A and B are shown apart, each in its own frame.
Chain A
């Protein structure tokens, strides 16, 4: 393969310009709008970036100024952020689901002077907190629907106006943008990436141009991509996973990024594009599998028979594929027939037909999910990393996929395990630290190593195994260690269980609060003629409790250690939710908050005399109305198996 190390000497805008020179006419971006895919070539990409960049300069944005992006996935996010970076400015992504108060806090903390919003929904948040963010000079918006009332106020600006300003400046001084781009260097900070932070205010990791580009280069060193490959952008842009692709991988390889029409259509649009690689949190893969199952279940008998037969073959073949061993000739033949008759049409239905590799990261994925995807011919692999190391530092290699590990480090990434069992890494992709938080930075980058905060070990094959957050590991009253996340994942691997919270710190035994999966359990209940109305109703059905009981029993049977066994559990009447503060934006459990919120349930879990309890569920709707519903929650104690 060609040597691409020279790309590391560019900043992102410089690399964009380099792409224009080498493949200017090729498609760089595609956006679905009005039902059509509208392409942008690298030329147009650069041109729009220039317009946005010079426009920003005209409204007083300059070196080291910060611009926040609260946007859906649209090409303009890239134009504006890279345009800002070309001026030496720093972009920062904020999740679209962030509440106004939080937005104000973040803007204040990051010293943001300009905000770019996709639509009225986001603009309204700023209107709400306007007096709390005096530093914000301008709010730029992309979609002008519903913005009629704001037009008179100079605080707001449509992106077309920004472009017009940029165009004007370019006409006056055609060399200006080039000069500005030349001034940048790869070690400048270009983006502040909010880390999800399971507690308190998010921290802004200072990412440099080189962080992203190095990441893109090293990743594609292992899993090469063609210039003609396609990627569908549907992860939130504020998440490192999306920036890693648009700033890193796409720039390093020249692939095209496709932006879906809307969040709701992302999966349908993915099917139209048929990407060559994709990243996703485990939830996406779990959802897709559930959909396949449901559809197969509703299919004709012959289809079902074929599916069940070839699935078995596929699983056997997957075993060989994952370990890189050679398949026996008969199996190879049969799995070839299975691919042709069953799996290719099947994956075509979900848009995975051209997918060479699918990556999952952010949380653990059940081993049988790996087997499932590998069986239907989707090369699903685990990745691992933190925001602070530009998302990915470890991943599975083709033919060496072990579901219980996160794989091996990327090239040019050093790693070791500290004496406390913490995973430490070092590479060109490690952040410069946290914005305005030198103590936190010191902690993070002590002795030149990135401290992940995750406990882990290296297994016999040289793969990294992640156990849990160092701070989350719990000990029972006997002092025996266990990882709540590890046990929660075990529970979540059951298709009927969507979410689980494990308790047991300084207690005699482990207990769990369980969320059933509304779709799978709902279908299960329908098939058995169990009628239910709401999620709450479904969750209190005794038959559902039996089902969960059996699942827990299964998990207990396979528990590695005696103290891993779940002794008591209860099914929660509501789904844990981001909006209720129970999960982080990336879907991780806010353990402390959940513990406090469900204190009474926790106490009942550890009082074996209590079999059921009346609870008042408190709901807050989107429009601010609240209501309380009374329900009875039952607690189940697992019988010891003889």
Chain B
């Protein structure tokens, strides 16, 4: 497996430089965190990788694919999926339907086959359901399978959001603040899920998170952004002792 590389990416909105010459290497099978103060451009990086924004300059590569100009659905086909900070779920549908719908791209049968629902259509549905059930088992969503998403607690909805990203069988998962707004117990669960994603499923995890305790606990590598620039990177110790990072977070004396 090769890594996901972001090389010299600049993103501008008019005169505003959201990202300036950002380069990163997100190594396979590791948890890489991107941290930084509000407005530092963390989510912009994820948006560039997942194809929501196209960088004004620079390139993004994954394996042999050039992601720079791809649209989100093309990126997801390559094996990179994303869980959003602000939940992007169908609030009126059940958890199961949300997850099944995420695998819609795998359902390749036509209208007639769907009407008959025998043979190809039912087989494909069953295969997809089996896959979704594995994700439900992994994210421990069994009690909520048939519950309408809108009726669930925020912590559980976040879990559904991550599950939805997982149903696409990605190799890389981008998690945008999966722990925001959660209580301690829910955070502990989520940390365990992220650990297991890496260890059991061998996924590459890219984590944007504000809770530094969590980041320091689970990251293999950290990039620190401030005002669209990388001000530090390295493993946990290196980042924690980097004077620039301390300054960005705590301020100057």
Contacts and interface: CB of A to CB of B under 8 A. Distances in A.
Q: A and B from one assembly?
A: yes
B128 to A, nearest CB: 12
Interface stretch (B5-13, B33-41, B52-60, B130-138): B130-138
Nearest to B185: A622
B215 to A, nearest CB: 18
B133 A148 contact: no
Contacts of B145: 35
A268 interface: yes
Interface residues of B, number: 18
B200 interface: yes
B142 interface: yes
Nearest to A149: B199
Interface in B160-188: 184-185, 188
Contacts of A36: 133
A501 B220 CA distance: 52
A265 B200 contact: no
Contacts of A265: 142-143
A262 interface: yes
B131 to A, nearest CB: 10
A154 interface: no
A261 interface: yes
B133 to A, nearest CB: 4
A35 B95 CA distance: 13
A35 B188 contact: no
A426 B134 CA distance: 50
A352 B133 CA distance: 27
Interface in B61-108: none
Contacts of B211: none
B127 interface: no
B143 A262 contact: yes
Contacts of B134: 34
B129 A264 contact: no
A445 B184 CA distance: 50
Given A35-B129, A146-B200, A261 B184 contact: no
Contacts of A622: 185
Contacts of A145: 196, 200
A34 B200 contact: no
Contacts of A262: 140, 142-143
Contacts of A264: 142-143
Contacts of A623: 184, 188
A34 B96 CA distance: 12
A265 B142 CA distance: 7
Contacts of B185: 622
Interface residues of A, number: 15
Contact of A146 (B130, B140, B196): B196
B196 A261 contact: no
Interface in B129-161: 129-130, 133-134, 136-137, 140, 142-143, 145-146
A170 B51 CA distance: 57
B130 A34 contact: yes
Contacts of A268: 143, 146
Interface in B181-207: 184-185, 188, 192, 196, 199-200
Nearest to A35: B133
Interface in A15-64: 33-36
A148 B142 contact: no
Interface string A261-291: 1101100100000000000000000000000
Contact of B142 (A146, A261, A621): A261
A255 B130 CA distance: 29
A158 to B, nearest CB: 14
Contacts of B188: 623
Contacts of B199: 146, 148
A265 B192 CA distance: 21
B163 to A, nearest CB: 13
Interface string A222-238: 00000000000000000
Contacts of B129: 35
Nearest to B140: A262
A464 B64 CA distance: 79
A268 B146 CA distance: 10
Interface in A557-598: none
Nearest to B132: A35
A36 B142 CA distance: 11
Contacts of B140: 262
Contacts of B200: 145-146, 148
Nearest to A268: B143
A623 B183 CA distance: 13
Nearest to B199: A148
B189 to A, nearest CB: 12
A261 B145 CA distance: 12
A296 to B, nearest CB: 19
B137 A34 contact: yes
A623 to B, nearest CB: 7
Contacts of B192: 146
Contacts of B130: 34
A621 B130 CA distance: 37
Nearest to B137: A34
A34 B133 contact: yes
A327 B98 CA distance: 52
Contacts of B184: 621, 623
Most buried by B among A35, A146, A262: A35
Nearest to A269: B142
A622 B130 CA distance: 34
A515 B130 CA distance: 45
A150 to B, nearest CB: 12
A55 B87 CA distance: 48
Nearest to B195: A146
Q: Which 3 A-B pairs have the closest CB atoms?
A: A34-B133, A264-B143, A35-B133
Interface of A: 33-36, 145-146, 148, 261-262, 264-265, 268, 621-623
Given A33-B137, A262-B143, A268-B146, 10 more contacts: A34-B133, A35-B136, A145-B200, A146-B192, A146-B196, A146-B199, A148-B199, A264-B142, A622-B185, A623-B188
Interface of B: 129-130, 133-134, 136-137, 140, 142-143, 145-146, 184-185, 188, 192, 196, 199-200
6 contacts: A34-B130, A34-B136, A146-B196, A146-B199, A262-B140, A265-B143
